[in-house]
Amino acid sequence: MLFQVTMDVRIPHNADRATIDVLKAEEKARCHELMERGTWRHIWRVVGQYRNVSIFDVPDNAALHEILMSLPLFPFMEINVTPLCRHPSSIRQNDH
């Protein structure tokens, strides 16, 4: 199943910079791991905001929930999820 996931990151201004830097590095590594597996198919930065729009390809809602909760920056995120399905007018065969 495909899901569009919007993640707004809201790190408190008084958060420890060193801790946040470690979490950001861990987040990047986790993202790359999931992209290598084909689970996190796309990620785009939203200009001017600490937000991304991503596409995940997972078996079901529960799998997506587990993945999102595993993200190192999860405690600092507001997440919105939109389930997607293939549009009948699409000419692409790999956009299931």
Q: Is residue 93 part of a domain?
A: no
CATH of the domain at 60: 3.30.70.1060
Residues of the chain with pLDDT under 50: none
The per-residue pLDDT of the chain, averaged, comes to 95
Query: How many separate domains does the chain show?
Result: 1
Structural domain of 6: 2-84
- Residue 22 is assigned to a structural domain of this protein: yes
DSSP letters, the chain, are: -EEEEEEEE---TTS-HHHHHHHHHHHHHHHHHHHHHTSEEEEEEPTTSSEEEEEEE-SSHHHHHHHHHHSTTGGGEEEEEEEE---TT---SS--
Asked whether residue 96 is domain-assigned, the answer is no
pTM: 0.90
Q: Is residue 94 part of a domain?
A: no
Residue 54 belongs to a domain: yes
Considering the domain boundaries, does residue 63 fall inside one? yes
pLDDT attached to residue 52: 98
